Structure 1
Amino acid sequence: MIRPVPHVAGMAAYALADLGDPGTISLAQNESAFPSSPRAILAGQKALDQMPLYPDPEWPEMRAAVSEVHGLAPQNILCGAGSMELIGCLIRAYAGAGDRVLGTDYGYAYVASATAQVQADYVKAREIDLAVSVDDILSAVTTDTKIVFVCNPGNPTGTMIANSELIRLRENLSGDVLLVVDQAYAEFSDAVEHPKAIFDLVARGDTVVMRTLSKAYGLAGARAGWGYFPTEIAHEVRKLLNPNNISISSQAMAAAALRDQAHMQKVVQRTAVIRDTFSENCRELGLTVPKSHTNFALLGFESVEQAQQADAALRASKLLMRGMGGYGLSDCLRATICGEDIMQRCVTVLREVLS
């Protein structure tokens, strides 16, 4: 019998979303409620005649677009097949057996999977009231800690800490600890917290900032993300990236979407209106819903049983939210924000369950 190496055999597979029965509307994957930019679609279509060619491994247009939008040095931008690829490569480059990777209670679950792949230990710092606590992170750091991951805004909580807190965290971490700030949902909070303060940390040489086009830009299917890296760290991570990791059409779509900031901002604004209305409706039903800075809302029920009843009723109505048992929040469901009509259908079902 052919056997895998022991640490892979002992790993749990990364938990994929349950997409339900055919005809079910998914509110489980935090995809955009609205289409991507028409300019992005057109750019992708125009790129189709280049399919006999390999993608450019330097991502020139995508890099240039990120640089234009955020005022960043293009040589310090690395692009990945979603931010997941960049996270995995970072961990493989900077952690190994016996090392610790530190996240938080409700941080991005893929970080734990990527850590297990290199036989390092994934440890969680406590969050307080479903929000990242810088003091608890600092208390959890040991001499074995190599990387600290912070998801801000958070998933699945939707909560956010101020940029000043992230800066305080960086200033109080040792210089040999890599800080990774995952900002997958940052476009939903950039109007509140200007991103430059966090990007400026990269110049220190010990911080990486991640972003994706899967959420606010509506390009989850294109698998395009990027990160801003110190020069030395970018050099090492680049060794581990697939050299043709983002397709020609996806690179073209990503660049065009980034250059259509007006469309992205309109999506963010429309999503926020629907999200806040839905959240308030759920609070009026007696649910606990923390203020969200993302394209989803976390719904807290009185008990695990009540959450399960709601899940079953939603499924019966062909509506599927994401159960949060894997995060230790079995009394919660996470609802991706969709169109107003879908969110109202969810409220109707929840009202029936809670009455």
Structure 2
Amino acid sequence: MMLHATRIIGCALAAGLLSAPALAQSTKTEQLTVVGAGGVLQDAERAVFFRPFADANKVQLTEDSYSGQMAKVRAMVDTGSVSWDVLQVEQNSLLSGCEEGLFEKIDWTGIGDRRDFIDGAYSECGVGAFVWSMVMTYDRSRIADGPKNWADFWNVQRWPGKRGLRQTAKMTLEIALLADGVPREEVYKVLATPAGVERAFASLDRLKPNILWWTSGAEPIERLASSDVVMSAAFNGRVAAANQGGRSFALAWDGQVLGVDYWAIPKGAKNRATAERFIAFASRPEVQARFPSHIAYGVTNRKANLAVDPKLAADLPTSPANFALAVPLDTAFWADHGEALEARFANWRSR
């Protein structure tokens, strides 16, 4: 009887010892590091995606931001020291990074039906987060009858002063061809030829003395507000946010270069399962539908599009009227030609 009791106590103690690590693991707070592009965009992401996900799932969420360069992601993956779990990434960076093995493959069974997403918003390594566009903007309080398109942007005789352009070949070469009279639907057909590349750089040559380059999305808005430039290329959501803050900046949709940013998971992310749950949460239509009320970017879930306030939808790049004036960013083109064109662009800019 005594021996039997001792065995029971011993088994109970063993069971307790065995269950302690499991109990500790089950109560451990989940961690997640999410990386955005900073500024008002990340403010919107925080309000709609980051905080609601962390609160609903009891996740300790840490934010970071970057300017879109893939060098840091590549260094993390190459050295096996990945400190980011989810990042916002542009189309061509996603495609080239996926081919290079810098991102985990997405398990779409946990995300939803791909048919629920707009064309181009799903990928082997990413899920569309939002739709943005590069537009032309100027201060309507300073220019009453302002430019309407990129050809006007190049007209320094009628509108003297500095212009802001993004310091990348991507989107800048498209804009240069539009300014030179290339129809929207032929931009990539022209740019895919040696003569078209020459034409784009010749167009930039004419404007070069008047260009101030920017690298972060906040810069063109700040420079426009301080009168450092009279007009600029800028992300439409940044312009709309400035107007909500009391500015009167124009949104010229003719020739907008439209793209999609994605959620992606770096290869070897420490918290991959939590990252996948975050992306699934951020892809829900009821969650995405709240995004345009914080920043004027389009959403990627078709059901979310139907739920967006019609008053807000009219000022999004994805509205029918605005989309008809767009040049959709050609991801495959930039994946194939981006390295060579960016190298030539950097050399041209330094001369």
TM-score normalised by length of structure 2: 0.26
Higher helix share: 2
Report the structure number with the largest CA radius of gyration.
Answer: 2
TM-score normalised by length of structure 1: 0.26
